[in-house]
Amino acid sequence: MLNSLLKSILKTAVYFIEQSDRVAGDVRDRVSDSFESASDRVSDLRDRAQDLYEGENHTLRNLLTFAAGVGVGIGAGMLLAPASGEEIRETIGDKVQDIGDRVRDRFSSEARNATGTEGR
């Protein structure tokens, strides 16, 4: 009786080991397939990005990207600065107004130069 009980326990243990090995193999295969798929996608994205930057001159886009990065950096710096909320809001408002004034001045001077009305 004890002998048959030990045989049953061993058979059950071997069965579980075989099943876990089979499941581990399936998981390994799925992970490998997912990794290959992700690798292919990254490779495709890299190729597409390389095609975008090799063809045309993207000076304006690069300049706008840089300006956006600077703006985000300045905004983050102001928000993380050790000042009160009121001071930060006032500073942000002043900066926005200053930038708006510069843009208006720039475009109005360019408009005057384009129409030839400057100096009259």
* Residues 105/107/97/79 CA torsion (nearest 10 deg): -130
For position 33, what pLDDT does the model report? 80
For position 56, what pLDDT does the model report? 65
Number of domains in the chain: 2
Same structural domain, 40 and 64: no
**Quick check: is 35 in a domain?**
yes
Same structural domain, 47 and 70: no
Same structural domain, 47 and 81: no
Burial of 1-12, coded b for 16+ CB within 10 Å and e otherwise, reads eeeeeeeeeeee
Same structural domain, 11 and 51: yes
| Tens of each residue's pLDDT in the chain, 120 residues | 778 888 888 888 888 788 777 777 777 777 778 878 888 888 888 888 777 666 666 777 788 889 999 988 887 877 777 767 777 778 888 988 998 898 888 878 776 766 665 554
For position 114, what pLDDT does the model report? 64
Same structural domain, 49 and 66: no
> Which tokens go with 16?
């579980």
Which residues span the domain enclosing 76? 58-115
Answer yes or no: pTM beyond 0.75. no
